[in-house]
Amino acid sequence: MVYLTKNYRYLKGASEEHVSEFLQLIKYVSGSYDSGEGFEKLNKEISDYEMSNNSGSSRRLFYLALPPSVYPSVCKMIRTYCMSPTSRTGWTRVIVEKPFGRDLDSAEELSSQLGELFEEDQLYRIDHYLGKELVQNLLVLRFANRLFLPLWNRDNVDNIQIVFREDFGTDGRGGYFDQYGIIRDIIQNHLLQVFCLVAMEKPVSLKPEHIRDEKVKVLQSVNPIKDEEVVLGQYQGYKDDPTVPDDSNTPTFASIVLRVHNERWEGVPFILKAGKALNSRKAEIRVQFKDVPGDIFKCKKQGRNEFVIRLQPSEAMYMKLTVKKPGLEMATEQSELDLSYGMRYQDVKIPEAYERLILDTIRGDQQHFVRRDELKAAWQIFTPLLHDIDAGKLKAVSYKPGSRGPKEADELSEKVGYMQTHGYIWIPPTLA
Ligand code: BG6
């Protein structure tokens, strides 16, 4: 019950009647993580329910919203006491939440511990960004549209940014956050998953294994991160939280350039940027194209073509274009082709990421979940950098809450080729 109350936002839009019907279905069984008693009780409750339904099948899904340190003991208990009985048809699946470890070694250790208890097809490592509508749209967009096929490469793309911004700080989660920092909390998982879908090659088919094979390949093609292509920040006031140590060097902001060593992307910087306590809340992918060669309009300064995928809020895709400024003069200006979901899909309810991913788990579809080798490749990219930060070799610079973050991050983006458009702002259209 407590859990549901805390996550009430996931029930938004449901009528009171539905919520109360739903709550009637909930049972609460208490027990400790590492003793058999509670799990035996849990197993009895589940078995009684299955018997009373007399369906002949037993489908058991365990969602572990727990600290990762207790995953091994809880999984062992599930394995010992709560598995779906072989006498019935059905399955047992376990969803685990990030953080899956703190670095490569700890993640591998956790993976082997869980791997001894469950098969890979029973383990669902959830990353809720993979459940977002526009993240799921990436495969379709890239591989079902002729338009993008010839453009999506180093010949045409100058740089790509994947950006996450929040306009609030760690808000009471300082204790948790300080042990992880923004790279482990957002970049190594959420933004890197988005990166995979933007950068990977076309999978052989839509089978989950084929898609995940391609994600692993692109992750393995990422070069080691260079210190000079990293900016770390910490917002002023972060350490006022009593659960955060006074000498904390934990970044609440990071901008990191990834470079992919393959035929498609050699030389194209992928700037992964995430920050808390900034001036806005949004997540977006920004594909910036190269300048037009032989620019007869002399409009280069106005800005480049950019294809922007706004993941949230106000899901949208828009293409920034240079057009003739309407009027008598042959002047140019920046405008856009805009597909704003709120306008185009007015009667469609976009599901919550978790809603979709839990349904996938019930259906046994692992496409949008992180495979073990994918996780390993992800940690391989960030572990050396994280160890240097933990050892204090790289320092977080301070930035003002409510700002764009450290100015060094804008300088880094500019240095690697990003050209900011001035005097143009995309305004999400609203219904009249
Ligand atoms: C979580 C992070 O995974 O994602 C949080 O732990 C962050 O720090 C949250 O606030 C952001 O999720 P969303 O869906 O609101 O972008």
Per-residue pLDDT in tens (0 to 9) along the chain, 432 residues: 333 444 454 566 678 899 899 899 899 999 999 999 999 999 999 999 988 887 778 999 999 988 888 999 999 999 999 999 888 889 999 999 998 999 999 999 999 999 999 999 999 999 999 999 999 999 999 999 999 999 999 999 999 999 999 999 998 888 889 999 999 999 999 999 999 999 999 999 999 999 999 999 999 999 999 999 999 999 999 999 999 999 999 999 999 999 999 999 999 999 999 999 999 999 999 999 999 999 888 877 788 999 999 999 999 999 999 999 999 999 999 999 999 999 999 999 999 999 999 999 999 999 999 999 999 999 999 999 999 999 999 999 999 999 999 999 999 999 999 998 877 788 877 766
Residues 299 and 411 in one domain: yes
Residues 168 and 23 in one domain: no
Is residue 381 in a domain?
A: yes
Rounded to 5 degrees, what angle do the CA atoms 391, 393, 396 make? Answer: 100
Choose the final residue of a domain: 97, 116, 146. Answer: 97
Residues 181 and 58 in one domain: no
Q: What is the CATH number of the domain that holds 54?
A: 3.40.50.720
* Residue 261 among the catalytic residues: no
d(CA 266, ligand 1 centre) in Å = 31
Choose the final residue of a domain: 50, 79, 97. Answer: 97
| 99 upstream amide cis, omega within 30 of 0 | yes
Whether this model's ipTM surpasses 0.95 comes out as: no
d(CA 428, ligand 1 centre) in Å = 23
Residues 157 and 201 in one domain: yes
pLDDT at 67: 85
Is residue 115 in a domain?
A: no
19 — alpha (psi -120 to 50), left (phi > 0) or beta? Answer: alpha
Residues 39 and 150 in one domain: no
Return the axis-axis angle of helices 71-81 and 36-53, rounded to nearest 10°: 50
Is residue 41 in a domain?
A: yes
Residue 304: partners with Cβ closer than 8 Å, 6 or more residues away: 158, 288, 289, 290, 291, 320, 419, 421
Q: Whole domain around residue 189: which residue ranges?
A: 130-347+371-415
Residues 87 and 173 in one domain: no
Residues 186 and 38 in one domain: no
Q: What is the pTM of this model?
A: 0.93
d(CA 154, ligand 1 centre) in Å = 31
Q: Answer yes or no: is the C-beta of 374 below 6 A from any ligand 1 atom.
A: no
Atom of ligand 1 nearest to the CA of 189: 3
Is residue 222 in a domain?
A: yes
Is residue 202 in a domain?
A: yes
**Burial bucket for residue 39 (CB in 10 Å: 0-12, 13-18, 19+):** buried
- CB atoms near residue 328 (< 10 Å): 6
How far are the Cα atoms of 101, 103, 331 from residue 111, in angstroms, in the given order? Answer: 9, 12, 59
CA 382 to CA 219: how far, in whole Å?
11
Report how many domains make up the chain: 2
Residues 41 and 183 in one domain: no
pLDDT at 432: 64
Choose the final residue of a domain: 81, 97, 113. Answer: 97
Q: How far apart are the first and last CA of the chain?
A: 40
d(CA 130, ligand 1 centre) in Å = 12
Is residue 82 in a domain?
A: yes
Residues 204 and 292 in one domain: yes
Of 100, 128, 183, 276, the one to substitute when testing ligand 1's pocket (max ligand atoms within 8 A of C-beta) is 128
CA 263 to CA 346: how far, in whole Å?
41
Residues 190 and 273 in one domain: yes
pLDDT at 377: 98
Q: What is the CATH number of the domain that holds 311?
A: 3.30.360.10
Atom of ligand 1 nearest to the CA of 177: 8
Q: Answer yes or no: is the C-beta of 185 below 6 A from any ligand 1 atom.
A: yes
Is residue 103 in a domain?
A: no
Residues 378 and 315 in one domain: yes
Catalytic residue among 190, 261, 368, 387: 190
Query: Which residue's CA is minimally distant from atom 6 of ligand 1?
Result: 185
Residues 144 and 80 in one domain: no
Rounded to 5 degrees, what angle do the CA atoms 167, 173, 178 make? Answer: 95
Is residue 186 in a domain?
A: yes
